Amino acid sequence: MPVLEELRQAVVDGQAKAAVARATQGLEEGIPAEVLLRDGLISAMQEVGRLFEEGEIFVPEMLVSARAMNATLVVLKPLLATEGSEARSEGKVVIGTVQGDLHEIGKNLVAIMLEGSGFEVVDLGTDVSPERFLEAAEAGADVVAMSALLTTTMTNMKAVVEALGRAGLRDKVRIIVGGAPITDRFASEIGADGYAPDASKAVRKVRELLAVKA
């Protein structure tokens, strides 16, 4: 099925238009949306993650690949729902940028890499209050992932950890943090379970925390 391979390559290369065209072509050829998602998009993002970890590509390329994946998802998502073919989820991740912080690029990359690795992702957006993190976690989540780009807002991560603790959810969810000023030391200081320096390692960290087999 060359169209699948072309779709995969288009996403790896970050060519959004080509990716959408290949996905549309695939659907016309009768390939199920679920297969296009799994063997096209998810497989592509795993390749992107691998290239990133090997230092072959960097954030700019990752961003354009993520965009190509998003553009293609817009085409596939309605079909995935109608087909009722719920892809097997590796786990549910609630993700957001903490209160006071409007930066989303890094958080979006982590979300897309998680999605591309088969996780169900609930993206709360930016400037997310501890209450909203808590609400989303109460609705059922395996992992809460928080991002902060500013040294002024990274301290707000602690409030979320504490809110989850007060609600008695601390044993039920794993907490992962990331963002430019965050370090391993900071993560353990605020009582998070893990830290990852980039989107690709975030996926690995989440897997590790949930002990899901890669």
Partner 1 sequence: MTQVLHRGPAAPPRLRVELQPTGRRVDVEAGSDLLSAVQAAAVGIVAVCGGHGACGSCKVRVVRGDLAPPTDAERSLLGPGELAGGFRLACQARVLSDCTVGIPEGSLSASQRLAFEGGGVAVGADTPVLPVDVEVEPPGLGDLRSDAARLLDAIAATNGLRPEVDVPVLAQLPTRLRAEGWSVRAVVSQPERGLPRLVGVLPPGTEPLGLAVDLGTTKLAAYLVSMESGTTLAQAGAMNPQIAFGEDVMSRITRANESPANARLLRDSVVEALGSLVEQLCAQSGRSYYDIVDAVVVGNTAMHHLLLGLPVRQLGEAPYVPAASDPVEAPAASIGLRLNPGAPCYLPPNIAGFVGADHVAMVLAAGLGSTERTVLGLDIGTNTEISLSYRGHLRSCSTASGPAFEGARIRQGMRAAPGAVEHVRYVGDRFLVQTVDNAPAIGICGSGILDAVAEARKAGVLDSRGALSRQHPLVWRSEHGPSCLLVGADQAGNGRDIFFTRSDVNEIQLAKGAVRAGTKVLLAEAGITEEALDEVVMAGAFGTYLDVGSAVAIGMLPAVPLDRYRQIGNGAGRGAVEMLVSRDQRSLAREVAKRSEYIELTVYPGFVDIFADSLPL
Going from the C-alpha of 22 to that of each of 33, 35, 59, 182, the distances in angstroms are 12, 13, 24, 39
Nearest approach in angstroms of CB 118 to partner 1 is 23
Nearest approach in angstroms of CB 108 to partner 1 is 7
Residue 204 has φ and ψ, to the nearest 5°, of: -65, -40
Give the residue, chosen from 21, 100, 129, 210, that forms a contact with partner 1 under the rule CB under 8 A. 100
Residues in the chain: 214
Give the residue, chosen from 53, 131, 184, 189, that forms a contact with partner 1 under the rule CB under 8 A. 184
Is the C-alpha dihedral spanning 107, 111, 116, 117 positive or negative?
A: positive
- Residues 196 and 176: beta-carbon distance below 8 Å: yes
Q: Rounded CA gap, 214 and 198, in Å? A: 18
Residue 3 has φ and ψ, to the nearest 5°, of: -65, -35
Give the residue, chosen from 99, 117, 147, 200, that forms a contact with partner 1 under the rule CB under 8 A. 99
Choose the stretch contacting partner 1; rule: CB under 8 A; options: 24-32, 41-49, 175-183, 204-212: 175-183
**Does the footprint of partner 1 cover residue 103 (CB under 8 A)?**
yes
Nearest approach in angstroms of CB 127 to partner 1 is 5
**Does the footprint of partner 1 cover residue 46 (CB under 8 A)?**
no
Which residues are at the interface with partner 1 (CB under 8 A)? 55-61, 63-64, 67, 99-105, 108, 126-127, 149-153, 155-156, 180-181, 183-186
